[in-house]
């Protein structure tokens, strides 16, 4: 069984995907066991497996390429090779409809003045965020991406930044309590086991 997938790359992101001297494209091909063909006129990228299916990471290659095409740097996109990392995309058109001014307002709320809002959500959730075109791309583990998605959803629906940040801080606080409980339970079990 062979792997084959076609993606559309925005023309202004093709250079980032290929990299200087083809370096990024070659790295993705090597690490994922695929061959990537890019038509720089149309922006079409064809990803094909070139190893046995069990030695190939075809879907990871597609995720990495998609992340780069949605504004992530190749370095950030390559973190998707790590075990629990995932990529998720939010289409802002579902919030803004066809209104370009609403789209720009929503993007402005997510990015914030000088990128402050995006940085704060990244710090509180642990996810990496890229706002590009009509999408928001997220990279992180499932929990991090879920937290960032919830915060972005609040901002897109008109909530205050304060409310979004407080929600993220509350989740972090609960996570910390859960980790402490887990640690205490483990300590208790170990003490019981030793007696």
Higher confidence at residue 80 or residue 3? 80
Looking at the structure, do residues 115 and 159 belong to the same domain, yes or no? yes
Looking at the structure, do residues 67 and 106 belong to the same domain, yes or no? no
- pLDDT at residue 46 above 90? yes
Looking at the structure, do residues 143 and 55 belong to the same domain, yes or no? no
- pLDDT at residue 43 above 60? yes
- pLDDT at residue 179 above 90? no
- pLDDT at residue 1 above 50? no
Q: Please spell the DSSP secondary structure of 70-93, one letter per residue.
A: TT--HHHHHGGGSTT-EEEEEETH
Looking at the structure, do residues 60 and 86 belong to the same domain, yes or no? no
Looking at the structure, do residues 53 and 126 belong to the same domain, yes or no? no
- Strand, helix or coil for residue 115: helix
Domain that holds residue 27: 1-72
pLDDT-based confidence at residue 50 (cuts at 50, 70, 90) = confident
pLDDT-based confidence at residue 108 (cuts at 50, 70, 90) = very high
Is residue 77 in some structural domain? no
Domain CATH for 56: 3.30.1370.10
d(CA 37, CA 61): 12
Looking at the structure, do residues 176 and 141 belong to the same domain, yes or no? yes
Instruction: Give the β-pairing of 34-39 and 44-49.
Output: antiparallel
Average pLDDT across the chain, whole number? 92
Looking at the structure, do residues 64 and 156 belong to the same domain, yes or no? no
Looking at the structure, do residues 117 and 167 belong to the same domain, yes or no? yes
């Amino acid at each position: 069984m062979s792997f084959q997938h076609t993606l559309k790359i925005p023309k202004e992101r093709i250079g980032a995907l290929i990299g200087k001297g083809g370096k990024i494209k070659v790295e993705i091909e090597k690490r994922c066991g695929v061959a990537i063909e890019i038509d720089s006129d149309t922006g079409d990228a064809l990803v094909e497996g070139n190893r046995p299916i069990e030695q190939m990471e075809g879907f990871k290659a597609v995720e990495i390429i998609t992340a780069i095409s949605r504004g992530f740097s190749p370095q950030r996109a390559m973190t998707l090779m790590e075990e629990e990392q995932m990529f998720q995309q939010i289409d802002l058109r579902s919030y803004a409809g066809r209104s370009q001014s609403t789209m720009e307002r929503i993007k402005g709320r997510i990015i914030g003045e000088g990128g402050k809002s995006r940085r704060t959500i990244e710090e509180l959730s642990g996810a990496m965020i890229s706002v590009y075109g009509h999408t928001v791309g997220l990279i992180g583990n499932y929990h991090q991406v879920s937290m960032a998605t919830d915060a972005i959803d609040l901002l897109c629906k008109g909530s205050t930044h304060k409310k979004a940040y407080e929600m993220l801080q509350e989740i972090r606080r609960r996570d910390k309590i859960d980790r402490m409980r887990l640690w205490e339970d483990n300590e208790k079990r170990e003490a019981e086991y030793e007696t």
